[in-house]
Structure 1
């Protein structure tokens, strides 16, 4: 499906990102790329905030704090910039392989929908639930995972081990049964974007000093990072590091392009051993661009397959990232399992993993252990920014380390990571672009190479000011009698007009439609804020951007975010 696109100037942030990524990418053939605001979405979406409102980003980001709220950074525009770079690079690879591809288009709205893919799937699954946001009067920080201390520090903790979780809280005097009540919401916050911890856990942290919590984390094996108020990135790594295979190695013979291929990577094979979001999303992008993706899972399958809600017996969130991939089960703790992976990699063009630091070497599956013509990609959490023994490389700790936890919220709110998986999504996209850059280089030189990217290197792509932003009352969505409205930038530029409107009526006394009419009469624009992703999936305005519910799984998914010409 290739819907007509409205032409528009490329958003400044998206332009900056795509230009930076393409400078970092050796393309075999230059391909024209265009970024629109709305793309195939049938709405007037003139800026980043309008996209965040209409596509559900405000809703998911605001779930943990009581109602829809904008991200204070141009996140969707950055995602669109990476998508444009991917499309242009992939089209260049396709042209080098004999396809007649000259142009690629994407949009900020398509970037937002791709970023929301797992939340959209969960909301539209048969067992899914996406309740509307609570009223603003109910807003609180109870849904965040951020902890405070008696001496005023704020921190994020991380562990994937329930015994380490219990030990951490035991050292703070919390009984095991009570700590156990917090484990499931803590682990599922990646999928739900909320973390309703028992109040007793938060109180236990607030009664201890930062030193006490650091000691508890150290002795229990829990990772802990304190949240600063500086939004600037602590480090500025390149999006990825590409290390070509040595010149003396055997040159690669790229997989032939099938004669009926229409997508740029058709005929190429990717083998991935990944989990959670970052790695699977990188493979998902390469599959949407035409590659065959073979997924290596442990015996019995990836545990994420059973994360609710289920659709046709499999997690809707898992399917959103892994549909269409072929699965091979292998026990990497055994010689036979590792041999099976080497055998698969010997037939592949790309090997992709997001294992913990050092695991590839211990398994004998590092880049030097596999064939030299391969593109070998490692998607990590911190790269080399925190030394050889970094904390767990997960989304929320990466937001803290990169300064994004301070940048996503305005100055009048305490800094805290968004519980939407911002860096996991962006990290997966950056990893995929690094793979495309390596494949483009291989078309030119015949040599494979190694690609290293990280959540932190992805977060560094998001521009942010030197100091946290200050919002006016009109930066937050307007709560109406039946929903919320995002007011366009002219509302902030015309405070007198806004005051006159609000002198005439209380905001919640009028419906969204009535407010839209009054604002239009005053020459002001507004965008309805989507607070129900299940409804969004059936909105006629999105029919060219979101596929109808799958007849087997029952849940919706965004279409591939590129249109090639």
Structure 2
């Protein structure tokens, strides 16, 4: 049985006190209120130890007093620099460089992106502290640490390759403009579809061939200087014609929309939580231990690319044991250059510390093995397209009897909020369709950032959904389903809007090589096979009631 309709409040009865009125505090409080938390406003400025704000956990659902919570800072521990706001963070952590790579030079995002990410991480820290039971935790989240999580794959790639791409302006980067003035993005993950699309539009073979690797790698490089012939063809073609060719050839074509044109489709719960199945005996399942708040939690992850793997990585940072289900031969992303220790540096950036098992879900035996693996877990985290979990026999109803206490976390893209035409739910189309491209408009030209904004924030939201579902599971005594998507990241960025901080630019010189970030924040990195990888964005310590 799956319960629907009634909004779920996993933190009903929880009371927090908030100090400070920064973007990360406001974001965290909105998330906690949506989870049913009562908020008390503290007086005065944030303490010196939490200059970006503090959230104190005052009471748990059972009415127990608590001294856990989350402190928010601008700089992570051990940094050699002292950022004081969002602009400083973007300059020092590489976000301004990465966003500006294809625009002619370092350029800060005109949205409080790192602060929004930090706010969701703070919300998750409070939820994890509640889920941990009698021994809570006081965590610290830095806005710079959140920014480093966004830059981490680029930093790893730059280090493994001996230097990432410099600022690139040759060629034409998406989005495109049609003959009738429509600005739009295209998307495909299939080289054959790419070939069919451009061939149907009359593009020369050399331009088609040279454009594909640049287009395919834009997720990893934050640049996409396509041959002028391709943009020229689209500029001389009406949008309806390009859209029709896309439909015929399997390439998604989506027009950019301003935020005001995006319908307000905010779900009842940011994580679409719902109870699954009947009563479950949870005593033999996850038993939190003193230390990391999710220590002892078992997660089976079946994800790829950025959003899903980042969610699993964040759960492992909180102490969960994560095992990846991968196809025979392993995830193809393991072999994407540059390699370090025989594995893709970008793959390691998102999947280190996880175990892996190869399972052929196309076979009956493979599906049986997967079911047995998931039945022993607390969480199933996956980003398969809708309906595929059920085809594998791993849907919520399929496992309700075998694993009645399981948390099903579906990491999605469009979540039924996509464009009318089929378009892959990847970062750049979601930015375009979700109004983010217009929030980033500078000089009157809206364009999605080639820094993967919704993928990273979407992964943070997905990890937050798991902690919310765990809190609800302990309340209901049943399994819980959660579903989040890239559209939720776009919605949150729209709700926060453009940056409202200081108007003058940061006086700090923006980092121009991602590898330099490691020298500025040495304690925020660990080295694996000679490549720096970011540590957890949280630092956490157990807090016993009655002691500070």
TM-score tier (shorter): 0.7 to 0.9
Q: Secondary structure at the match of 1:295?
A: strand
Q: Work out the CA distance in 1 between the residues paired with 2:416 and 2:288.
A: 39
For 2:70, the equivalent position in structure 1 comes to: 33
The more displaced of 144-153 and 420-429 is 144-153
* TM superposition shift of 1:183: 1.4
* TM superposition shift of 1:427: 0.5
1:198-217 to structure 2, matched below 5 A, reads 198-217=227-246
Q: Structure 2 vs 1, CA of residues 208 and 387 (structure 1 numbering), >3 Å: closer, same or farther?
A: closer
Kindly indicate whether the alpha-carbon contact (under 8 Å) linking 1:270 and 1:351 is maintained by their aligned counterparts in 2. yes
For 1:147, the equivalent position in structure 2 comes to: 176
Alignment gaps of 5+ in structure 1:
1-7, 472-487, 493-524
For 1:538, the equivalent position in structure 2 comes to: 519
Q: Secondary structure at the match of 1:556?
A: strand
Q: Structure 2 vs 1, CA of residues 254 and 401 (structure 1 numbering), >3 Å: closer, same or farther?
A: farther
* TM superposition shift of 1:443: 2.3
Kindly indicate whether the alpha-carbon contact (under 8 Å) linking 1:265 and 1:290 is maintained by their aligned counterparts in 2. yes
* TM superposition shift of 1:115: 1.1
For 1:89, the equivalent position in structure 2 comes to: 127
For 1:337, the equivalent position in structure 2 comes to: 366
Q: Structure 2 vs 1, CA of residues 407 and 351 (structure 1 numbering), >3 Å: closer, same or farther?
A: same
2:445 matches 1:435: no
* TM superposition shift of 1:175: 3.9
Aligned-pair Cα RMSD in Å: 2.4
Q: Secondary structure at the match of 1:152?
A: coil
1:311-330 to structure 2, matched below 5 A, reads 311-330=340-359
Q: Work out the CA distance in 1 between the residues paired with 2:424 and 2:283.
A: 37
2:113 matches 1:75: yes
Per-residue CA deviations over 1:405-432 (Å, capped at 9, x if unaligned) read 111223x241111111100001111011
For 2:510, the equivalent position in structure 1 comes to: 529
Q: Work out the CA distance in 1 between the residues paired with 2:73 and 2:420.
A: 41
2:320 matches 1:310: no
For 1:250, the equivalent position in structure 2 comes to: 280
Match of 1:221 among 226, 250, 253: 250
Q: Secondary structure at the match of 2:515?
A: helix
Kindly indicate whether the alpha-carbon contact (under 8 Å) linking 2:411 and 2:484 is maintained by their aligned counterparts in 1. yes
Q: TM-score scaled by structure 1?
A: 0.82
Q: Secondary structure at the match of 1:106?
A: strand
Which contiguous aligned blocks of 4+ residues in structure 1 show a shift greater than 6 angstroms? none
Q: Secondary structure at the match of 2:272?
A: strand
Kindly indicate whether the alpha-carbon contact (under 8 Å) linking 2:462 and 2:484 is maintained by their aligned counterparts in 1. yes
2:484 matches 1:447: no
Q: Work out the CA distance in 1 between the residues paired with 2:263 and 2:448.
A: 15
Q: Secondary structure at the match of 1:460?
A: helix
Q: Work out the CA distance in 2 between the residues paired with 1:303 and 1:241.
A: 31
For 2:29, the equivalent position in structure 1 comes to: 19
Q: Work out the CA distance in 2 between the residues paired with 1:181 and 1:361.
A: 39
Q: Work out the CA distance in 1 between the residues paired with 2:523 and 2:461.
A: 25
2:424 matches 1:392: yes
For 2:91, the equivalent position in structure 1 comes to: 53
Q: Secondary structure at the match of 1:351?
A: strand
1:265-414 to structure 2, matched below 5 A, reads 265-370=294-399, 371-386=403-418, 390-410=422-442, 412-414=443-445
Per-residue CA deviations over 1:356-375 (Å, capped at 9, x if unaligned) read 22222333321111222100
2:487 matches 1:456: yes
Q: TM-score scaled by structure 2?
A: 0.84
* TM superposition shift of 1:45: 1.6
Kindly indicate whether the alpha-carbon contact (under 8 Å) linking 2:273 and 2:482 is maintained by their aligned counterparts in 1. yes
For 2:46, the equivalent position in structure 1 comes to: none
The more displaced of 151-160 and 234-243 is 234-243
Q: Secondary structure at the match of 1:461?
A: helix
* TM superposition shift of 1:219: 0.3
Q: Secondary structure at the match of 1:528?
A: coil
* TM superposition shift of 1:250: 3.2
* TM superposition shift of 1:462: 1.6
Q: Structure 2 vs 1, CA of residues 451 and 408 (structure 1 numbering), >3 Å: closer, same or farther?
A: same
Q: Work out the CA distance in 2 between the residues paired with 1:450 and 1:362.
A: 17
For 2:164, the equivalent position in structure 1 comes to: 130
Q: Secondary structure at the match of 1:393?
A: coil
Q: Work out the CA distance in 2 between the residues paired with 1:37 and 1:72.
A: 18
2:94 matches 1:65: no
Q: Work out the CA distance in 2 between the residues paired with 1:399 and 1:241.
A: 21
Q: Work out the CA distance in 1 between the residues paired with 2:411 and 2:302.
A: 11
Per-residue CA deviations over 1:127-179 (Å, capped at 9, x if unaligned) read 34225436xxxx56x36232221111111111111111111111101244531
Q: Structure 2 vs 1, CA of residues 301 and 177 (structure 1 numbering), >3 Å: closer, same or farther?
A: farther
